[in-house]
Amino acid sequence: MINTSQQFCVQNFMIMDKIISHSNAAYGLESRVEDENVYELIQPTEEDFNPATDKEVFVKVRVKCYAITTILALLIAVLSLIVALAGVSYASIELSNQQSQLSSSMVCSQELGSGISNPASSCNAIPQYTPSGEYWIVTNRTSCPVRVYCDMNQTSCSCNTTGGWMRVANLDMTDPNQTCPGGFRLMSRTTPPLRTCGRPGPAGCVSTTYPTYGVEYSRVCGRVIGYQDGSPGAFAPYYSNRKLSVDDVYLNGVSLTHGRSPRQHLWTFVNAADETRTRSSRNACPCTRPGLNYNNVPPFIGQDYFCETGSRQTHSINKFYPDDPVWDGQGCGGNSTCCEFNNPPWFCKQLPQPTTDDIELRLCGDENTNNEDTPLEIVEIFVQ
């Protein structure tokens, strides 16, 4: 004889077992196997089972069990969600911290100007002992950073200063990949192999402008190497017309200036016809033959110039002189002091006041290129 609670448990057990069996069958699983003797052992009889009362008890218990199970399931779901969110939040915080630390370490480890996100205001603002090379700068004139070459140990110029110099011009026609600036005439020779940039033809000047990107500077240094072609007449244009200014064709050679209206003189590179010509000083360098009356140097250039010739003896029209470049400080004759005057090939100019002007190079001649020209091979200019 079993009591009512036992009857309830047995019946409930049997119901759950049938549910499980049906579920397994639906999902293709093996049915749960139980000992049938258990059912027979405690199988209730009609005498021991009161449907009216026990059914009510069963319903109440089942409702309570379902409610408790539902609440527990909800609690477990809520707790799982909280744990999951906490894990994601923690992971996000950790990732954010790691990214922040990595970004900070990268910024701190970057040298000034070494990246587009860390530009310098000029080459001179970069730490002094930084290696020479390309760096990023940004100024009030540039809306975005630009990459420039900074020489951090400029020893060629005689400026006796420390700090970085920004290279604004770098023409090297010994490099076959380089081309002449716009408006210049490419001159290629095979004997000896030589590539230069000359005037296009008529008398006058051809010019190119080198940007400084708004960098403020007060010193300029550089060099220009060219060759004599024909019979360039040094300061002969100014000798013939003393009203000429820095804006005019006052020389045969290169005029280096900054600013406009009027141009401000930086340095002049003069090409003379030869070293032995004594008929007139108008076509000769002032440093060529001491004792002659050299009154043809324009006052607006002062002593800021180089003057040299590629011809040791008398010159010839339509002849190119490839053996002795001009303004390199070498190959001057015995009576000439041009290779010592201002110590070519490098010049250094201290400006009276800082400027952000771009720099203009003009190659000039007062005659057609059939008679004279000074084609250029190297132009290298720095500012600080």
The answer as to whether 95 is a domain residue is no
User: Which pLDDT score is estimated for 154?
Assistant: 81
User: Which pLDDT score is estimated for 312?
Assistant: 75
Domain count, the chain: 3
The answer as to whether 284 is a domain residue is yes
User: Which pLDDT score is estimated for 110?
Assistant: 65
User: Which pLDDT score is estimated for 78?
Assistant: 76
User: Which pLDDT score is estimated for 82?
Assistant: 76
The mean pLDDT values, 10 residues at a time, for the chain of 384 residues are 41 44 44 40 45 46 55 76 62 51 43 90 91 94 92 84 92 96 94 94 96 96 96 91 94 96 95 72 78 76 94 80 94 85 95 97 96 96 97
- Pick the last residue of a domain from 57, 89, 121: 89
What order do you get walking across the sheet with 305-308 strand by strand?
204-210, 359-365, 253-258, 264-271, 305-308
Same domain, 84 and 187: no
- 108, two tokens: 């701190």
CA pair distance 52, 170, nearest whole angstrom: 108
Q: What is the residue range of 140's domain?
A: 110-153
Same domain, 306 and 366: yes
Q: pLDDT by residue (tens digit) across 207-250? A: 999 999 999 999 999 999 999 999 999 999 998 899 999 999 99
Same domain, 369 and 282: yes
Same domain, 176 and 320: yes
Same domain, 305 and 370: yes
In sequence order, the 6+-apart residues with CB closer than 8 A to the CB of 357 are: 212, 258, 259, 264
Nearest to 122 by CA among 130, 114, 113: 113
203 and 366 Cβ atoms separated by less than 8 Å: yes
User: Which pLDDT score is estimated for 86?
Assistant: 61
Site of tokens 């720095």: 382
User: Which pLDDT score is estimated for 68?
Assistant: 63
Indicate which CATH number applies to the domain containing 126: 3.30.750
